[in-house]
Amino acid sequence: MLFLHSFLHTVSFPRCTNCSEERHTERVYTIREGETLELTCLVTGHPRPQIRWTKTAGSVSDRFQDSSVFNETLHISKIQRHQGGRYYCKAENGLGSPAIKSIRVDVYYLDDPLVTVHQSVGEAKEQFYYERTVFLRCVANSNPPVRYSWHRGRDVLSQGSDKGVEIYEPFFTQLQGETKILKLKNLRPQDYANYSCIASVRNVCGISDRNIVFKLTNKTASPSIKLLVEDPIVVNPGQTVSLVCITTGGEPNPTLSWVSSSDSLPEKSVVKGGTLTLPAITSDEAGVYSCVASNNVGNPAKKSTTIVVRALKKGRFWITPDPYHNDDNIQIGREVKISCQVEATPPEELIFGWLKNGRAMRSSERMVITQTDPDISPGTTNLDIIDLKFTDFGTYTCVAALKGGGIPEISIDVNISSTTVPPNLTVPRGKSPLVVREGDTVELECLVSGKPKPIILWSRADKEAPMPDGSLQAESYDGVLRIVNVSREMTGSYRCQTSQFNGFNVKPREAVVELIVQYPPSVEPVLLEMRQGLGRPVVMNCRVLRAHPSRVLRYEWRLGNRLLHAGHFDQSDETEYTVKSLNREGWGEYTCDVNNEAGAGRCTFLVTGKAYPPEFYYDTYSPLWQNRPTVYGFKLQWTQMNPNAVDRIVAYRLGIRQTGLQRWWEQEIPVDGTITKGELNTHNLTELIKPAAYEVRLTPITRFGEGDSTIRIITYREFHCSFEEEPICMFTQDKNDDFDWTRHSAATRDTKYTPNTGPSDDRSGSKQGFYMYIETSRPRKEGEVARLVSPFFNVVPKNPYGIANPPAYCFSFFFHMYGKHIGTLNAFLRQKGQTAAEGPAWSLSGNQGDRWKQAKVSIHPTASFQVVLEGIRGPGIEGDIAIDDVTLEEGECRDLPPISKHKNTEGGVYP
């Protein structure tokens, strides 16, 4: 038998304690937060399908181990609430459409509840007195929704039990999670007590209830605090800053905490009680710091202060020639303005001073110093020189400082002379276009003249793209932009532009440098394995995807170091090499090098006659049993991947060793004739020692020699099925019966219409456990049949001539036949190759009472076989028959129960 398609048989999931898979239209699996989730995807199909797990939002590989994503079992340790959602198992083997199953994972959790106390609006006082209304609000995050109960001391409070108490849910809340409010109207003496809120999710997944207690007294009051610091606090970098916060009211005693505007406190900060200490403070740690007091009464109290760390940085200047003339040059008799700018914290402490040739200057009619001009940028001072004279040439120095001191001042020198001229910008000859190879280091250069020389700003001119360092603009003080390890994406136009900073405040000068990055050809395939038989042609094709320069491309084909063919590309972007008839000398590594001025790209073809690996066939459920107490056998089944791609497979080399041992035992399995694609090959492994597991290696052999091997593990298992997983151990429903068996548990089965029939728990006594049963309610009719068919079990002969003494197996199961309309339960042996129907191997009819009983029957198959369990509907609806814990063991049944008057074979029934 051969499956030429891939199908996903089902998906199996383990349950957490006290959890079960919920029966909805979509499958839902529940698990407690922090537990380990394992989703198992049971797949059938041949060749063996590949499996991939994905989630609703996309691939889960970024959140879980990659090894887990591509296995049958998806493993998530310590699952968190955000990891719930719909998971998909996708199986494909290249035949037909992929098979997909989904399940929704619901993560259950219950956080500790929080009780907050509020007094009525309009009665806001510091304390609660008589005739005040108080609200106790309880909130908890949970999944599933939480249920609350309120207690005063040991007494349970409920709606209507006390005239002074109301319990309700708010119409609207911005809080996360469920909320329950306890309203105490016009406080009475007995209302001053301990109140406890218990949050429960009904022990789902074993999550226990959570409890919180609040003590309400006539002194209960919301918190109030005071900061013993100034606002703002201005400090120098390196100072140690201490912020002190004290409580001035609140009952219960409030707890104090500190938060900052940057979301988290600095790493080196120290919190002790209400004191926050910031040692050796830096500019990065400046900001708003808040003390928060909370005792769950009213709203938390919050007081804040701002820490300002003094700083001076980024000193810049620019020169503005006479704005009333068209030319940009400095000339005698005209006006010149020198502007100086710095960034200061705090800005109000910034003070400027001006020096000429080292001597302090004062504002005068011809030398006008301005610091507070509303038209200029903040932190800027101007020196206006009216009617420039020859004696005004010299060095002007702008000095910036902070009033508080402790910060080094910044000074900026500006030279004004007859040689002070605006800038000019050019690209040196031969520096554009600039041609480089990928991976080189390149320097883009713009020559800037003038005095003083301004900063040069570099940016991309041809597209909205970042510079190589990721910024949109780069500064250069010498006009050179250096790019290390240049890549092909950096090809394009780069603009160099004069900045007004440290230069003239004139229209910017600019120039453009073209950068051309050459790179070797990108080709495909980079590596391709080609398998072919002797005497057949081999065609290899190497294609160029991209290259720069794309012209004058040359190719060379080689086998090893031997040159086979060379040439140039014309109009085509690919080259082909053909081996007309492959011989032994033609096996090996073929390369095609495609060259341009920047280098070479290489296509590699591994031409071989090596056979593809065989693919093991996994769909047989159990190993083969032999009727001997110490050994077992196994029918090894496989198909050959692409058998026609290479020379005929003449044999397989079989290696086998017991797991844990080093030594391999090997033998050769001859092959007669030609193996076709999809043909199922078999070999019987005998004398395997129970209950050891074995590692089996299978290698195809052709004229080339050995091909690729495949390894699998064989384990000894006796068959046992308790129907706990939905795949039901590869049992299937008979297609020729009248209706199907149903998988259910007592916890989910609806007995509303037929309460006097069927089991109240599974065979082990668990209401959560599963079993199979026939539902005899309408529209079922008397005599209708439901058959459940096991997977195939293999029988292997001890010698190649057949089975002299058929082996014996003990087939047993538990059944529940309770109800006044019980029909018949039959067990059949169905052997491969037999067409005639035989009588049941075991049969029982009628009401057997409300309990589980065990049946055993010995069977003696002579070929691969299945067992069939058949339920026949009785005369009425109270006739549900159930089965559980089906086993198949080697050897005759021992301890057979007494012969029942209902049965007609060698089996028996345990009461």
Residue 389, Cβ density class (10 Å: 0-12 exposed, 13-18 middle, ≥19 buried): exposed
Chain-centroid distance of CA 170 in Å reads: 37
Is 461:494 a contact under the CB 8 Å cutoff?
A: yes
Residue 715 has pLDDT above 60, yes or no: yes
Encode pLDDT of 517-528 as tens digits. 999 999 999 999
Token representation of residue 742 = 């149903």
Distance CA(756)–CA(433), nearest Å, equals 94
Among 494, 518, 542, residue at a domain's last position: 518
Whether 903 is covered by a domain: the verdict is no
DSSP state of 68: H
Task: Judge contact between 814 and 750, C-beta under 8 A.
Answer: no
Stronger pLDDT, 481 or 95, i.e. the higher one? 481
pLDDT digits (tens, 9 = 90+) for 118-162: 987 444 455 544 457 899 999 999 999 899 999 999 999 988 888
252 preceded by a cis bond (ω within 30 of 0): yes
pLDDT value at residue 248: 95
| Predicted model pTM | 0.54
Q: How confident is the model at residue 24 (pLDDT cuts 50, 70, 90)?
A: very low
Separation CA 577–CA 604 (nearest Å): 12
Domain at 665, CATH number: 2.60.40.10
Whether residue 724 sits in one domain with residue 868: yes
Looking at residue 365, what is its pLDDT?
92
Q: Which of 41-50, 99-108, 381-390, 465-474 has the lowest mean pLDDT?
A: 41-50
Residue 551 lies in a domain: yes
Higher pLDDT among residues 68 and 458, named by residue: 458
Six token digits for residue 452? 């003083």
Query: In a 3-state reduction of DSSP, which class is residue 450?
Result: strand
738 in the same domain as 826: yes
Q: What angle do CA 338, 343, 348 make, to 5 degrees?
A: 100
309, 332, 348 — which closes off a domain?
A: 309
DSSP symbols for 666-677: EEEEE--S-PPT
Q: Are both 336 and 460 inside the same structural domain? A: no
Reported confidence tier of residue 778, pLDDT bands at 50, 70, 90: confident
Residues 751 and 872 occupy one common structural domain: yes
The owner of tokens 């202060």 is: 305
Both 726 and 873 in one domain: the answer is: yes
Query: Do residues 621 and 594 both lie within one domain?
Result: no
How does 287-299 read in b/e, with b if 16+ C-beta sit within 10 Å? eebbbbbbbbbbe
Tell me the two tokens of residue 354.
């001006």
Q: Are 459 and 556 in a shared domain?
A: no
- pLDDT reported for residue 174: 45
Element (H, E) at 66: helix 66-69
437 and 304 within one domain: no
Task: Report the pLDDT value the prediction gives residue 1, as an integer from 0 to 100.
Answer: 22
Integer Cα distance of 457 and 271 in angstroms: 46
User: Residue 484 above 80 pLDDT?
Assistant: yes
724 vs 389: which has the higher pLDDT? 389
646 in a structural domain: yes
**Is 901 within the bounds of a domain?**
no
Residue 7: name the closest of 101, 137, 99, 108 by CA.
99
Tokens representing residue 429 in the block: 């000859």
List residues bridging with 306 in a β-sheet.
288
Evaluate if residue 804 carries a pLDDT over 70.
Answer: no
- The answer on pLDDT for 622 being more than 80 is no
705 shares a domain with 680: yes
Strands 311-320 and 503-504: parallel
Is residue 372 assigned to a domain? Answer: yes
Instruction: State whether the Cα torsion 347-349-353-358 is positive or negative.
Output: negative
**Boundaries of domain holding 353:** 311-419
- pLDDT for position 101: 87
CA distance 252 to 128: 13
Locate tokens 């090098």: which residue? 593
Domain co-membership, 728 together with 841: yes
pLDDT tens, 692-712? 889 999 999 999 999 999 998
878 and 769 together in one domain: yes
Burial of 584 (0-12, 13-18, 19+ CB in 10 A): exposed
369 burial (CB, 10 Å; 0-12 / 13-18 / 19+) is middle
pLDDT reported for residue 873: 94
Residues in the chain: 911
If one counts the domains in the chain, the total is: 8
Does any domain span residue 898? no
pLDDT digits (tens, 9 = 90+) for 274-307: 999 999 999 999 999 999 999 999 899 999 999 9
> Is the per-residue pLDDT at 446 higher than 50?
yes
Q: Which of 448-452, 566-570, 782-786 has the highest mean pLDDT?
A: 782-786
In a domain, 909, yes or no: no
Residue ending a domain, among 586, 608, 630, is 608
* Eight-state DSSP code of residue 766: -
Return the HEC string of 16-30: CCCCCCECCCCCEEE
Check pLDDT > 60 for residue 102.
Answer: yes
Q: What is the pLDDT of residues 856-890, one digit of tens each?
A: 999 988 888 889 999 999 999 888 999 999 988 87
What the block records as the tokens of 799 is: 């010698």
Mean pLDDT estimate for the chain: 85
Strand ranges, E, within 93-220:
99-110, 114-119, 134-140, 142-143, 147-152, 155-157, 165-168, 178-184, 194-200, 210-215
Tally DSSP H helices, then E strands, for the chain. Answer: 1, 71
903 falls in which pLDDT band (50, 70, 90)? very low
Does the residue 1 lie in any domain? no
The percent of residues above 70 in pLDDT, for the chain, comes to: 87
Residues 17 and 121 in one domain: no
- Two tokens at 457? 């700003």
Place of tokens 């293999």: 794
Q: What is the mean pLDDT of residues 204-222?
A: 92
pLDDT band at 800 (very low <50, low <70, confident <90, very high): very low
Instruction: Find the range with the poorest average confidence among 62-71, 219-228, 774-783.
Output: 62-71
- Please state, in angstroms and rounded to a whole number, the distance separating the CA atoms of residues 291 and 260: 9
Pick the closest to residue 579 from 590, 568, 595 (CA basis).
Answer: 590
Residue 67 confidence (pLDDT): 47
Inform me whether the pLDDT recorded for 87 exceeds 60: yes
Range with lowest mean pLDDT among 226-240, 647-661, 677-691: 677-691
**pLDDT number for residue 99:** 86
Output the pLDDT for position 628: 60
Q: What is the chain's percent helix, strand, coil content, to nearest 5? A: 5, 50, 50
pLDDT higher than threshold 50 for residue 206? yes
